[in-house]
């Protein structure tokens, strides 16, 4: 009798355990990596990607600001060339920092994210010229398309390839004043972000949940938004494929005046890849979104699909000759440029909808392209 009772009790215990397991594993529920060490991942991003990116940007912007002052004081061909080089290096550094528009680089009051304050393109040349005419620059208004790095590009590279004419244009004191004020404003904003991150880093690492206010969500959403900026604004916009466009608009390409659009797109894509892999700019690999996904149900398959498509994006992009301006290729070989756009579009699903679903992180921004 005792043996029978013991056997019955054991069966009941087993049944109870199975019941608990079933209750904890609801139909349709997937593992979203709640046991993954997100804090260590965020620490990796803060220490090896975000703060170094802003520090490098700060160093390059400091050189740009000094070069602008030198050229303004002595507008010669040699000083212009040095200024153009400094701008190119600063703008390349910007490609590796423009995905981190939160915390010290986020919106506050009337201030928009750093990307809008110093990286809005295309530049409104009419607004820039009107401000130069009045000699009364105000970099705290809503004319974000008349300041920042793209506005400086217009000043020092336009007309394209004619440095003699550019130097002559800077005989105007108001033009020199605008240039030095614009670079000083960029420096001020970047300095503030770098200073802010010295104390914000701990806050960022400790908010390691996946809710809308978490650092994980902020980082993921800016990663997606930055990726989509390449697709929607650096390629689709000049190609004439954005809503409301009826024809190509090559002059709206990023880096139009310096003829370096493709160089910047490739650098920006490398920055996106670095965030995906948790890889520092010097190539040192760490824990990133890839490893995070590998720890969730279905994540390994998504990683394989996303990385295969990343390869297709690179292949299509590398098929465009970098020594021919993107604005020209849009006119002479639009099919090849559109192929790049299509490959970027195919990758969107993996980075955006699939990744968001598997990690349980909501998309909190509106991209406006229906993806």
pLDDT digits over 144-190, tens only?
999 999 999 999 999 999 999 999 999 999 999 999 999 999 999 99
Token pair, residue 11, equals 């069966």
CB 363 within 8 Å of CB 352 = yes
Region 55-61: what's the mean pLDDT? 98
Fold for the domain defined by 32-359 = A middle domain of Talin 1 (1.20.1420)
pTM for this predicted structure: 0.90
Q: What share of the chain is helix, strand, coil (3-state, %, to 5)?
A: 70, 0, 30
Does the pLDDT of residue 23 top 90, yes or no? no
- Find the length of the chain: 371
For the segment 80-139, what is each residue's pLDDT rounded down to a tens digit? 999 999 999 999 999 999 999 999 999 998 899 999 999 999 999 999 999 999 999 999
DSSP 8-state secondary structure symbol assigned to residue 288 = -
Question: Where does the pLDDT of residue 76 fall: very low under 50, low under 70, confident under 90, or very high at 90 and above?
Answer: very high
* Lookup result for tokens 């909808």: 353
Give the integer Cα–Cα distance in Å for 80 and 246: 37
Residue 291's contacts (CB-CB under 8 Å, 6 or more residues apart) are: 36, 41, 278
Q: First CA to last CA across the chain, in angstroms? A: 67
CB 12 within 8 Å of CB 276 = no
Q: Which residue has the higher pLDDT, 363 or 19?
A: 363
3-state DSSP assignment of residue 111? strand
Give the integer Cα–Cα distance in Å for 72 and 172: 10
């Amino acid at each position: 009798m005792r043996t029978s009772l013991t056997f019955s009790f054991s069966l009941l215990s087993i049944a109870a355990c199975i019941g608990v397991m079933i209750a904890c594993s609801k139909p349709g529920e997937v593992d979203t990596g709640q046991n993954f060490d997100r804090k260590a991942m965020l620490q990796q991003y803060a220490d090896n990607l975000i703060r170094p990116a802003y520090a490098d940007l700060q160093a390059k912007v400091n050189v740009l600001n000094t070069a602008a002052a030198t050229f303004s004081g002595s507008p010669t061909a040699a000083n212009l060339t040095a200024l153009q080089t400094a701008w190119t290096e600063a703008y390349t550094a910007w490609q590796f920092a423009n995905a981190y528009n939160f915390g010290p680089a986020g919106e506050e009051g009337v201030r928009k994210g750093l990307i809008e304050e110093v990286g809005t393109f295309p530049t409104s040349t009419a607004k820039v010229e009107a401000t130069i005419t009045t000699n009364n620059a105000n970099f705290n208004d809503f004319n974000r398309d008349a300041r920042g790095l793209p506005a400086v590009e217009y000043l020092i590279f336009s007309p394209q390839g004619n440095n003699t004419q550019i130097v002559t244009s800077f005989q105007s004191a108001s033009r020199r004043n605008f240039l030095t004020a614009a670079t000083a404003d960029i420096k001020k904003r970047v300095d503030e972000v770098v200073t802010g991150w010295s104390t914000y880093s701990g806050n960022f690492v400790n908010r390691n949940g996946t809710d809308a206010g978490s650092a994980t969500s902020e980082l993921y959403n800016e990663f997606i938004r930055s990726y989509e900026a390449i697709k929607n604004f650096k390629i689709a916009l000049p190609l004439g494929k954005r809503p409301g466009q009826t024809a190509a608009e090559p002059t709206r390409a990023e880096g139009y005046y310096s003829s370096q659009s493709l160089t910047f797109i490739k650098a920006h894509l490398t920055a996106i890849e670095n965030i995906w892999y948790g890889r520092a700019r010097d190539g040192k690999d760490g824990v990133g979104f890839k490893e995070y996904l590998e720890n969730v149900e279905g994540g390994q398959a998504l990683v394989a699909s996303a990385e295969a498509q990343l390869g297709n994006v690179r292949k299509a992009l590398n098929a465009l000759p970098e020594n021919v301006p993107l604005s020209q290729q849009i006119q002479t070989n639009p099919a090849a440029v559109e192929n790049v756009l299509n490959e970027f579009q195919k990758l969107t699903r993996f980075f955006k909808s699939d990744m968001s679903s598997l990690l349980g992180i909501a998309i909190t921004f509106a991209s406006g392209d229906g993806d």
